[in-house]
Structure 1
Amino acid sequence: MRTALVVHAHPDDEVFATGAATSVLSQQGWNVVLRVATAGMHEASDHLSASCALLGIAEWDWLGAPDQWIDDGARNGPRTLTAAQPEAITAAVKTAIDKLQPELILTVGSDGLTGHPDHIAIAQAVQRIQCRALGARLRAEDVRAGEHLVQQFAPGEQVGSGHVKGCDVPLQQIGGASEQLRRQALDAYYDGLGSRPLAELITTHRPSSDGLLLRAVFDATGWQQDRFEELTASSDAPSSR
C-alpha cells in the first residue's frame, strides 16, 4: 500500500491545509498518516482523532517527543517551532520518513499557507530533506474572494491577520473530496465554523481571524480541493477527480 505522510505544526492544520487531499488519497487506497508537532493553543489534539477519521487519515502521532514544542499563538517563545533549532525539526521529520517510508509528503507551502511562523518552520524542515513533497498554498484570487465575502457581513472591518496573501504562480490541484466531511472536521475543532452560515459566524468570530477568512475562502472557491506547490523536485502529484 502506498503511504502518504502529512506533517503539520498544529492540530486543525490538517483540515485547513490538506483536508481535501487526504480524503482523496484515502479514497484512492493510500495509507495516510499524520505527524503533528504541537498540541495547539488549547490542547486541540483532543479533537485530532475525530478529524482524522473524517478526513481519511489512518492514524496520527507526534512529530518528535510529546510536548517537545508548543504553540504560543505566534509569539515565538523559547519552546515554539519558530525558536527551535532547524536541525531538530528536520531530524524529527526524517525520523518519521525513515519509519514510514512514504511515497509522498504533504505539508504547508513555503509561505506557511497563512504566514504563521510555525507553519513556515515545518515547510522549511521538509524542504531540507530529499523527498517527494507538496506544500499547500492558496491562490491570491481566492484569498481576495474570501475577503470580499467577509467584508459583506463586516464592512469596514479588518479581514484576517493580513498575513494570508496567496500566490499567483501555477499550483497543482488535488480535488474530489467530500465537502460535508471537511465541514464536519472543522466543526470538530470549532463549533459551527464548518457548518454555520458565514453571516452567523461574524457574530461569534472576529473578522480579523484567519480561521474565519479560510472558511470564507472555502465558501467562495470550494471545499473539495487543495492546491499545492512542489517543495522538492518530484514526479506529478496524484490526479484530480
Structure 2
Amino acid sequence: MTTIVAFHAHPDDEVLMTGGTLARASADGHRVVIVVATDGIMGPSEPRRMDELRASAAILGVHRVVHLGYADSGHGPILYPDPPDRTRFARASVDEAASRLAEILREEQASVLLSYDANGGYGHRDHVRVHEVGARAGELAGVRVLEATMPREPLVRVQRLVRLLRIPVRYDPDVVVYSPRSAITHRFDVRRFARQKQAALAVHHSQVSGNGRPATIMRVLVKLPVPLFGILLGREWFVLRG
C-alpha cells in the first residue's frame, strides 16, 4: 500500500476537489494525509476551520491532517497586510513552503502528491501558490504529482452563456480556468463515495452557513439527494505533472 498526500489551500477544498479520491484511496487501504497551506482565516489564527477540516478528514478516512502555518490571502484585487501571528500564503517564499511540504512527504514516505493545476483552478491566488509550491515540493522529495483540475470546456460554455445573459458574476469571466480535456491524464469515478463526500462537505459549517454565493451553492449541495450529488460531484480529474 502507498501513502498519498493531498495538498490544499484552505479547509473545504479537500472535499470539493479530491474528497472522493481520498475516500476511495483510504477504502483501498492506502494511507491518506491532508496538508493545508492555510487555516482559511484572514485574521489572527483561531481553531474553527481546522476543527471542521479534521471532522471532514475523519469522514473521508484520512489518517493525518497538517497545517503548514500560513494565513488565508483572500481573493480579489487587494492583498491585505499579514495578520500579526503569521504570513499570508501568497506572500510566502515558494522554496520555504515547498521545503516544509517536502519534509512531510519524506516523513510519510509518500508515493503521490495531489496538488492543483497551473491555473489554480479558478485563479485564486492561494490556489495558484499551491500549484507552485506543490510542483517544487514534488521535485525536492522525488514524488509524483497529480494536479487536481476540471475539464475547462464545459465551464467555458457556461461563461459564454453568462456573458450572453449579462448575469453579474463574482469572478472575471475572461480568466482562464482549470485544464483542457486534452491535458487531463486521470479521471476517477467516485460516485460510490458520494455519501461520504457530501457528509464531509456538510461539516464545514462556517462555509455552509456563511453569506454570499459560494455558501448558497454549498447549502444546496449538502441538501441534495445522494444520487444527484453523486451525478454532479462524482467524478474527479487530475493532470500528471511532467
TM-score normalized by structure 2? Answer: 0.75
Shift of 1:148: 9.6
In structure 1, C-alpha distance between the alignment counterparts of 2:179 and 2:170, rounded to whole Å: 16
Match of 1:89 in 2: 97
2:55 to 39, 50, 54: 50
In structure 2, C-alpha distance between the alignment counterparts of 1:148 and 1:186, rounded to whole Å: 29
Corresponding position: 1:141 with 2:153:
yes
Corresponding position: 1:174 with 2:178:
no
Q: Deviations over 1:204-236 (max 9, x none)?
A: 8534x49839x88x96963222101112x3xxx
Distance change in 2, residues 1:112/1:30 (3 Å): same
User: Residue 187 of structure 2: SS of its match in structure 1?
Assistant: strand
Match of 1:132 in 2: 144
Larger % of helix: which?
A: 2
Match of 2:118 in 1: 110
User: Residue 11 of structure 1: SS of its match in structure 2?
Assistant: coil
Instruction: Verify the 8 A CA contact 1:142 1:221 in the aligned structure 2.
Output: no
Distance change in 2, residues 1:142/1:184 (3 Å): farther
Match of 2:212 in 1: 206
Identity, % of aligned pairs? 23
Instruction: Verify the 8 A CA contact 2:188 2:237 in the aligned structure 1.
Output: yes
Distance change in 2, residues 1:190/1:142 (3 Å): farther
Match of 1:69 in 2: 70
Instruction: Verify the 8 A CA contact 2:120 2:178 in the aligned structure 1.
Output: no
Distance change in 2, residues 1:49/1:6 (3 Å): same
Corresponding position: 1:223 with 2:226:
no
Shift of 1:189: 1.1
In structure 2, C-alpha distance between the alignment counterparts of 1:143 and 1:219, rounded to whole Å: 18
Which structure 1 residue ranges, 4+ long, deviate > 6 Å from structure 2?
A: 145-149
Shift of 1:145: 7.1
Q: Which amino acid letter does the alignment assign opposite residue 237 of structure 2?
A: R
Q: Deviations over 1:113-169 (max 9, x none)?
A: 2211111112111212242011111112343577799x7xxx754245235723323
In structure 1, C-alpha distance between the alignment counterparts of 2:211 and 2:196, rounded to whole Å: 22
In structure 2, C-alpha distance between the alignment counterparts of 1:211 and 1:112, rounded to whole Å: 22
Instruction: Verify the 8 A CA contact 2:9 2:126 in the aligned structure 1.
Output: yes
In structure 2, C-alpha distance between the alignment counterparts of 1:146 and 1:181, rounded to whole Å: 28
Match of 1:158 in 2: 168
Instruction: Verify the 8 A CA contact 1:55 1:182 in the aligned structure 2.
Output: yes
Q: Deviations over 1:58-95 (max 9, x none)?
A: 221222xxxx3101423434421111111111111111
Shift of 1:50: 1.2
Instruction: Verify the 8 A CA contact 2:89 2:126 in the aligned structure 1.
Output: yes
Shift of 1:176: 2.4
In structure 2, C-alpha distance between the alignment counterparts of 1:105 and 1:69, rounded to whole Å: 19
**Gap runs ≥5 in structure 2:** 43-47, 222-227
Moved more, 116-125 or 73-82: 73-82
